[in-house]
Amino acid sequence: MGVIIKKIYRISDKGNPFTANFSFMTLEIAFKNFVDVFDTKGLIVIADNCKDSTINMLKDNGGEDIRITSLGNSGSMKYAYEICFTEFNNEDIVYFSEDDYLFLPEPEKYIMEGLEIADYCSLYDHLDKYINHGQNPFIRNGGEVTKVVLTKSTHWKFPNSICPTFATKVKTLKEDKEIHYKYNFIGKITDSFKTTLALIESGRKIITPIPGRATAADLYPSPLIQWKEVADKYK
């Protein structure tokens, strides 16, 4: 591929990120899957409020650049942004990942294709985009108003929101710093929904593949994929 995507992986032992429908998941399964599909080149792990056993798990599975912090959810994400601004080049591509995700193979191929036609790329086709009267207020008749496009490997859509696991160029993140900081770093929890809406309003293009190539292990997984089968490979 020629391009090494910088990866910043945030992990924490505070709380349980996995909902009942993902009871088969663990932090170790998620991290093993991540390093398997992405590898560890350009990987920085932010281990926030983590036990020694979790730090050792990260090291045992290829984590080398591990930053140990006690910053909380929004604080650790702000730290991830500061790493981009101080340690990466403007043209670098960075992928931010939370610790409750599963990925299908070749994520970097899809990221590169997505960023050829958009400013931000998420691999997660969030199920809430297809549920009437759910948590997304813009859904009508089982879907959102969007545009579908095609690249070499997949179809894509332009969603009205994405989660804080996404790819972009460092220079894009710098240009949009005011928006990200306004909605993500005031309280303890980031607000990706308001952030996405503001980015779209500013003219940014945000894209996700259909079907998704990743999922958060929560109540709204990317549809049409047997995610338990993906996770079971890493037990």
Please give the average per-residue pLDDT across 29-46, as a whole number: 96
Three-state DSSP class for residue 151: coil
> Half-sphere exposure of 73 toward its Cβ, with a 13 Å CA cutoff?
15
Residue-number span of the structural domain to which 101 is assigned: 6-217
Question: What pLDDT, on the 0 to 100 scale, is given for residue 1?
Answer: 46
Q: How far apart are CA 58 and CA 17, in angstroms?
A: 17
- The sign of the dihedral angle between the CA atoms of 204, 135, 218, 15 is positive
Number of domains in the chain: 1
* 129, part of any domain: yes
Q: Which pair of tokens denotes residue 26?
A: 């663990």
Q: Which sign, positive or negative, has the C-alpha torsion 104, 105, 111, 116?
A: negative
Q: If you average pLDDT over residues 207-224, what whole number do you get?
A: 97
Angle at 179 between CA 175 and CA 184, to 5 degrees: 125
Q: What percent of the chain has pLDDT over 90?
A: 92
Is 227 domain-assigned? Answer: no
How many Å apart are CA 81 and CA 90, to the nearest integer?
Answer: 13
Q: Model confidence over 152-187: pLDDT tens digits?
A: 999 999 999 999 999 999 999 999 999 999 999 877
Least confident of 24-33, 164-173, 184-193, 226-235: 184-193
Least confidently predicted of 49-53, 116-120, 133-137: 133-137
- Residue % of the chain over a pLDDT of 70: 99
In a domain, 225, yes or no: no
Supply the mean pLDDT for the chain: 95
Determine contact, residues 67/90, Cβ cutoff 8 Å.
Answer: no
Contact 76, 98 (CB under 8 A): no
Q: Is 226 inside any structural domain? A: no
pLDDT at site 134: 87
Give the tokens for residue 10.
């945030």
The CATH code of the domain that includes 149 is 3.90.550.10
pTM: 0.95
Q: What single-letter amino acid sits at 89?
A: N
In a domain, 233, yes or no: no
pLDDT of residue 2: 56
- The SS3 call for residue 146 is coil
Q: Is residue 35 part of a domain?
A: yes
- Per-residue pLDDT tens over the stretch 85-129: 999 999 999 999 999 999 999 999 999 999 999 999 999 999 999
Task: Note whether residue 1 is domain-resident.
Answer: no
Residue 19 has pLDDT above 50, yes or no: yes
Q: Are 231 and 221 in contact (CB under 8 A)?
A: no
| Residues linked to residue 121 through DSSP beta bridges, in sequence order | 167, 207
**Structural domain includes residue 124:** yes
Q: What is the dihedral of CA 68, 164, 167, 18, to 10 degrees?
A: 80
Q: What is the pLDDT at residue 129?
A: 95
User: What's the pLDDT band for 188 if we cut at 50, 70, 90?
Assistant: confident
